[in-house]
Amino acid sequence: MAGVADVLIVEDDATIRSALVRALGARRHSTMTAPTAMSGLESLVAHPPDVVLLDLGLPDLDGTALLAMIRSVSDIPVIVISARDDDPGIVALLDAGADDYLVKPFAADQLDARIRAVLRRTRRAQVVGPLVVGGLVIDARARQARLDERLLELSPKEFDLLLYLAERAGEVIAKRELLSEVWNQPYGGADKTVDVHLHWLRRKLGESADAPRYLHRVRGVGVRLSPPP
């Protein structure tokens, strides 16, 4: 099975580096590693990854400086991994173009969830033009959804949920998948979360579970978004 993401790990600590390679490999990511900022930059230019994990404390160049160099040549998502949990520079890092950050030590599952979230955001932004499902028009860039030309007032999670389903219109999506991909909770959490949001989304679409138009419950399996007949 193909990897989820090609991840470039720029980290000088060999122990952390190999732990990350193992943890990401176990989660079906493929990895490249670089022990210095300059080798990281070379690797990134030679084989552009999907995501960069960037340690801040590197021997040859500060990670912040490397981030600026990466941003001058590429839009590749960068997740900063930092030991400086009280670093006032975190806001500056995000301003400088980091997509997310994690403070060491962190759980591998947390890293995996951040990688997936960052990839979803970038892949969504690459979608050209709005998604259309029947009378629903969903603009991922503007984060706006319209139904029959009427702007829907959706919470951020309701929008994420609608977008996720619309990108897979016609497919039955398991609640487990929604919890994992929309809520970043790969290992459980309350199924009720999904039900409650589906309920609100239904109401905003002007339909009910008993009289569905767009949101169809498939008992025991999940939910499907498809245009009314």
Residue 56 CA to residue 140 CA, distance in Å, equals 32
Nearest distance, CB of residue 199 and Ca ion, angstroms: 47
Closest CB to Ca ion among 55 and 99? Answer: 55
Nearest distance, CB of residue 63 and Ca ion, angstroms: 8
Q: Which residue is nearest to Ca ion (CB)?
A: 57
Q: Which residues bind Ca ion (CB under 5 A)?
A: 12, 55, 57
Nearest distance, CB of residue 10 and Ca ion, angstroms: 9
Residue 14 CA to residue 192 CA, distance in Å, equals 42
Closest CB to Ca ion among 57 and 228? Answer: 57
Q: If 0-12 CB within 10 Å is exposed, 13-18 middle and 19+ buried, where does residue 218 land?
A: exposed
Residue 64 CA to residue 44 CA, distance in Å, equals 16
Closest CB to Ca ion among 19 and 174? Answer: 19
Nearest distance, CB of residue 80 and Ca ion, angstroms: 12
Q: If 0-12 CB within 10 Å is exposed, 13-18 middle and 19+ buried, where does residue 146 land?
A: middle
Closest CB to Ca ion among 55 and 181? Answer: 55
